Amino acid sequence: VIDLGAGTGALTQAILQRCEGATVELIDADAEMLDQARERLAPFAARVQYTVRAFQGPLPACDAAVASLALHHVPTLAEKRTIFSAIHAALPPSGVFVNADATMPADPSARQAEYETWAAHLVSCGIAEERAYSHFAEWADEDTYFPVEDELAALTEAGFDAACLWRVAPVTVIKATKSATP
């Protein structure tokens, strides 16, 4: 399994705990995040590999790929399509890519409603409402949230059969499967 934008390794930990015998390569551009992952994943040391690099570029062959709260850092759909194509190329027939990330509607009023829902969630976690909206403004400098329909279209263009499995504003889980036949 390849974990793109693996960060501190939380998703990899869940995979390794549930999939005995699985091995995971964590890919992240932030070496400090991967250092935290090394600590978290120490009990699984023989089953993990760490690679400091960006998402872009060819990926090693894998049976499955995952990303969680990572690909919203990719600023354009064209760049995402390129990454999705690299994932597609790395997978065998019937290989699966699962992406959990934030998506936002294209319609401005629907988008605003999603931000309000998100802010309410942050407030329920103890963050002041004005700070929640400040976070959104700060994150806007490096994060891009596309409509789920655009994400699915980009995956389809990369050769996947893609479907939204779950969405609770704005968090979305998408499964993309490579065809069983070339």
Per-residue exposure over 121-147, b if at least 16 CB sit within 10 Å of its own CB, e if not: ebeeeeeeeeebbeeeeeeeeeebbbb
Side chain identity at 155, as an amino acid letter? L
pLDDT exceeds cutoff 90 at 165: yes
Q: How far is CA 10 from the centre of its chain?
A: 12
pLDDT at 117: 94
Q: What are the pLDDT digits (tens) for 110-126?
A: 999 999 999 999 999 99
Q: What are the pLDDT digits (tens) for 38-49?
A: 999 999 999 999
Neighbours of 59 (CB within 10 A): 21
Per-residue exposure over 18-44, b if at least 16 CB sit within 10 Å of its own CB, e if not: eeeebebbbbbeeeebbeebeebbeeb
Domains located in the chain, CATH noted: 2-105+144-178 (3.40.50.150)
Total-model pTM = 0.94
The token pair at 143 is: 């994060």
pLDDT exceeds cutoff 80 at 182: no
